[in-house]
Amino acid sequence: MRKLSILALTLMSLSVSAQTLTTNTGSPVGDNQNSKTIGNNGHVLLEDIHLIEKLAAFDRERIPERVVHARGAGAYGEFVAAQDFSDVTMAHFLGQAGRKTPLFVRFSTVTHQQGSPETYRDPRGFAVKFYTEQGNYDIVGNNLPVFFIRDAIKFPDMVHAFKPSPLTNGASDPNRVFDFFSNIPESTHMLTWLFSDYGIPANYREMVGNGVHAYKWVNENGEVTYVKYNWRPKQGERNLTQEEANAIQSTQIEHATLDLHNAIKGGNYPQWDLYVQMLKKEDFDKLDFNPVDVTKVWSEKVAKSVFVGTMTLNRNADNYFQEVEQAAFSPATLVPGIEPSEDKLLQGRLFSYFDTQRHRLTGNFQQIPVNASKNKVTTYNADGYMSIRAQKGDVNYQPSTNLPEIKEDTKFKYSKSVFPAGTTTVQAKIDKENNFAQAGELYRSFSKKDQDNLIKNLSGALNAVNNKVIVHKMLAHFYQADKEYGTRLLKATNTSMNDVQQYLKK
């Protein structure tokens, strides 16, 4: 009798909590299993509104995949500032020790498609969206501290080289990749990072993040400080050897996504400390490289790291598509007190990232909840696909005599830039390219095990290249970075020094 009463209560509880299935317009659905037909075995009728809506919605479930950073995982959290940086930036979220700022983070692989294994050797995206009281601010970076190229005009070609062949549609092909990079000596530093074990992070929780580019922090006096960001995981950093990655990939392709989700679900909230390096423009000439060159790092000797604050991820997304897939980041998502530097790659990304989001998510992508600012948005940008921002009244322009209270805040004007007298427009390489020195320094900083794995990984990829001229040009780059580095690769690829000699920089 007691068992029956419990069953009855359970059924009553289910009945009370049960929800009625509806159409997109909220109308109740009477039958979700059988289409409306003429007779029991006749033709299906076009007037079955629920059927037509269901199929039409299904046909439109997919949006264009990101060209890069297609495979990703995300989570919500908060950032707590460690000190007051108002002397160097007007950014409000950095203006007081202990100030908390909510945020959303998306981690990703870079060159491969959705559904690809997360064990591939590939840079990892590390993008953070701060929901500040002055609007959103995005730090859009990678796990590795530098990049392959320094000018955005090369970016489409580089991505084409990484993507499947237009002839075979085969996966990333070393013949195509190294054909491109053999003509891009500035890539030597990044390739050294990528083919080391740092090229395969163990997961997202134990992964370093870097802003990669130099940015400008600007204070209320208009004074500019150049900065670089670095996220350091409090869980420690861990990477995989190629053999370890192969073992994981044989049983699971989304190990990093699940690791992040399960850790947060279990209350094991991952944390990262944010550090910043600072340089003044007057210090640039003292260096043997251009500090806004994205193929370079700033050593601690050049600029010491300063602790900025701590990020904690503590909540998973409720719906992957609506939040993680539709999350839109851009280095152009800035707040007062933070501006882009003259970095030629960054300058192109300021356009490209916003443009790709407009293509994927419509021109009103910033109104999607995960991208929407938490503070009030007052703008006369209007209408377009999927516009849901509250707008009313007769005036949809500015300035207006009828709305004198809506005005600009002049203290947030962009900082002034001073250019050398007689400057002209040019299309040329930057000064102080210094393409190889830091790649050599990186190689020499590696442990013997890391050096051995780098040689094994890189020579393995080069040995898959059919055109030996490409191999010889690549080896010349690595040899100029470090003689031992290049000599070991010569031996591992069965190449003579005579083959490489003609490609060494004169």
What are the residue numbers of the active site?
A: 69, 142
C-alpha to C-alpha distances, 177 to 161, 171, 466, 470, nearest whole angstrom: 5, 11, 12, 10
Answer whether 269's CB lies under 8 Å from 105's CB: no
Burial class (CB in 10 A: 0-12, 13-18, 19+), 58: exposed
Question: DSSP states of 411-440 as a string?
Answer: GGPPPP----TT------PPS----SHHHH
Answer whether 292's CB lies under 8 Å from 342's CB: yes
Tokens found for residue 109? 């692989």
Helix residue ranges per DSSP H, 163-254 = 174-181, 188-194, 242-249
Instruction: Look up residue 16 and give its amino acid.
Output: V
Going 92 to 97 to 98 to 102, the CA torsion angle's sign is: positive
C-alpha to C-alpha distances, 304 to 307, 361, 443, nearest whole angstrom: 10, 40, 22
Cβ atoms within 10 Å, residue 79: 23
Helix then strand then coil, in percent of the chain rounded to 5, is 35, 15, 50
Q: Distance from CA of residue 134 to its chain's centroid?
A: 22
Tokens found for residue 379? 């703008």
Distance (Å, rounded) from C-alpha 346 to C-alpha 364?
23
Distance (Å, rounded) from C-alpha 315 to C-alpha 305?
29
Distance (Å, rounded) from C-alpha 37 to C-alpha 54?
16
Number of helices (H), then strands (E), belonging to the chain: the values are: 13, 10
Distance (Å, rounded) from C-alpha 506 to C-alpha 501?
10
Helix (H, G, I), strand (E, B) or coil at 225: strand
C-alpha to C-alpha distances, 106 to 72, 80, 360, nearest whole angstrom: 6, 19, 17
Helix (H, G, I), strand (E, B) or coil at 473: helix
Going 449 to 161 to 155 to 110, the CA torsion angle's sign is: negative
